[in-house]
């Protein structure tokens, strides 16, 4: 259920009229499109001159009501037809202190006035809500289909994330330093995604690194509650930074087929074990952390490589040691 009291008049009317066709009959949409107009342009609506509150609706012409229910059945909404304003209000519907983003919860500002939004041609392309102390939950499945960059790093957010329903255009996502729970679905991320940072949360389950987006360059999943083994033999060739320290991962690891572009690889503070072949690391690698694991083996000398091995059975042959 959605808290109707937190949604704007525009959003409520779009949700009410989502099943009405044809929308052009009441100037709800321009010809040859299904996207809603501003409700001030709709036929048959009257507003209070001072408060701009919607007073009456007069729709007499024959129209076909597919669904005009009093409940909001979000699973059946036409995502593509909803305005950017409506989508953004649905994204933040679970946030308790929305005034930090959009003004009044009861009457949100136009998204052009929201904090941290970048708009191009009235479409949301970037959202930056870092360290705002926002509380509650967010519904990322309603992010506008035009967005490429979204960060909510270091807030007080909880709940689960609909990983499989993220917009296809999303390239950078940071949900790090919150209290998100549930499993992470790395198999169904947007295929254009390049960066995913979800460290310092309460995410759980296993990590399937076999079907990451082919464009992925940085994946940071440290300080969660992941378990099970991981496969490192089919990482994207574009991968530069991979980190999943401080979880409860286990089993052996194969680091002989890391991408040639890899520069940072941190897997310490896990339960990995067994003899490991470190003799085929990529020449580009600058940092390798295997600290506080049960791994064994010797890291040969590599030009420019810094290693962290304390608390493990791994030996180092002349590489710089990182102690902090």
Q: What is the pLDDT of residues 51-81, one digit of tens each?
A: 777 766 656 443 444 444 444 444 545 667 7
Q: Please give the pLDDT value at position 194.
A: 98
Of the two residues 51 and 96, the one the predictor is more confident about is 96
| Mean pLDDT, all residues of the chain | 87
Task: Tell me if the bond preceding 22 is cis, omega within 30° of 0.
Answer: yes
Q: Is 323 exposed, middle or buried (0-12, 13-18, 19+ CB in 10 A)?
A: exposed
Q: Please give the pLDDT value at position 20.
A: 62
Which of 54-58, 166-170, 171-175 is the least confident region?
A: 54-58
Measured between its terminal Cα atoms, the distance across the chain in Å is 47
Annotate the chain with three-state secondary structure: CCCHHHCCHHHHHHHHHCCEECHHHHCCECCCCCCECCHHHCCCEEECCCCCCEEEECCCCCCEECCCCCCCCHHHCCHHHCCHHHHHHHHCCCECCCHHHHCCCCCCCCHHHCCCEEEECCEEEEEECCCCCCEECCCHHHCCCCCCEEECCCCEEEECCCHHHCCCCCCEEECCCCEEEEECCHHHCCCCCCEEECCCCEEEECCCCCCCCCCCCEEECCCCEEEECCCCCCCCCCCCEEECCCCEEEECCCCCCCCCCCCEEECCCCEEEEECCCCCCCCCCCEEECCCCEEEEEECCCCCCEEECCCCEEEECCCEECCC
Q: Could you report the per-residue pLDDT of 219-268, keeping only the tens digit for each?
A: 999 999 999 999 999 999 999 999 999 999 999 999 999 999 999 999 99
Contacts of 63 (CB under 8 A, 6+ apart): 20, 21, 22, 25, 26
CATH superfamily ID and name for 94-321: Ribonuclease Inhibitor (3.80.10.10)
The strands making up 156-159's β-sheet, listed across from edge to edge, are: 135-136, 156-159, 179-183, 202-205, 225-228, 248-251, 271-275, 294-299, 313-316
Q: Could you report the per-residue pLDDT of 186-214, keeping only the tens digit for each?
A: 999 999 999 999 999 999 999 999 999 99
Q: How confident is the model at residue 33 (pLDDT cuts 50, 70, 90)?
A: low
Q: Could you report the per-residue pLDDT of 280-302, keeping only the tens digit for each?
A: 999 999 999 999 999 999 999 99
Which of 53-57, 86-90, 267-271 is the least confident region?
A: 53-57
Residue 93 has pLDDT above 70, yes or no: yes
For the chain, residues classed under CATH 3.80.10.10 are: 94-321
Query: In percent, how much of the chain has pLDDT > 70?
Result: 83
Q: How confident is the model at residue 35 (pLDDT cuts 50, 70, 90)?
A: low
Residue 34 has pLDDT above 60, yes or no: no
Which of 80-89, 156-165, 256-265 is the least confident region?
A: 80-89
Q: 197 and 178 in contact (C-beta within 8 Å)? A: no
**CA nearest to 57, candidates 120, 121, 105, 12:** 12
Which of 32-41, 163-172, 292-301 is the least confident region?
A: 32-41
Q: 33 and 24 in contact (C-beta within 8 Å)? A: no
């Amino acid at each position: 259920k959605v808290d109707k009291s937190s949604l704007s008049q525009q959003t409520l009317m779009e949700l009410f009229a989502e099943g009405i066709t044809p929308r052009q009959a009441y100037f709800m949409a321009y010809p040859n499109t299904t996207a809603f107009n501003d409700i001030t342009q709709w036929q048959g609506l009257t507003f209070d001159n001072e408060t701009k509150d919607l007073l009456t609706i007069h729709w007499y012409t024959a129209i076909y009501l597919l669904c005009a229910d009093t409940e909001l059945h979000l699973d059946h909404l036409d995502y593509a037809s909803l305005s950017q304003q409506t989508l953004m209000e649905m994204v933040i519907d679970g946030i308790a202190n929305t005034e930090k983003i959009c003004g009044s919860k009861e009457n949100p500002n136009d998204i052009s006035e929201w904090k941290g939004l970048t708009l191009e041609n009235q479409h949301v392309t970037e959202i930056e809500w870092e360290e705002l102390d926002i509380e509650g939950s967010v519904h990322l499945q309603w992010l506008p289909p035009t967005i490429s960059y979204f960060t909510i790093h270091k807030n007080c957010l909880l709940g689960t994330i609909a990983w499989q329903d993220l917009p296809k255009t999303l390239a950078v996502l940071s949900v790090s330093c919150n209290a998100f729970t549930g499993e992470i679905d790395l198999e169904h991320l947007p295929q254009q995604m390049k960066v995913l940072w979800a460290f310092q949360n309460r995410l759980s389950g296993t990590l399937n690194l076999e079907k990451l987006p082919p464009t992925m360059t940085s994946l940071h999943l440290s300080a969660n509650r992941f378990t099970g083994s991981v496969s490192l033999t089919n990482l994207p060739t574009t991968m530069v930074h991979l980190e999943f320290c401080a979880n409860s991962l286990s089993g052996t690891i194969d680091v002989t087929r890391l991408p040639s572009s890899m520069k940072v690889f941190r897997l310490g503070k896990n339960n990995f074990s067994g003899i490991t072949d470190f003799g085929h690391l990529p020449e580009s690698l600058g940092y390798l952390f295997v600290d506080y694991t049960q791994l064994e083996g010797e890291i040969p000398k590599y030009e420019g490589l810094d290693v962290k091995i304390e608390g493990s059975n791994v030996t180092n042959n002349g590489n710089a040691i990182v102690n902090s």
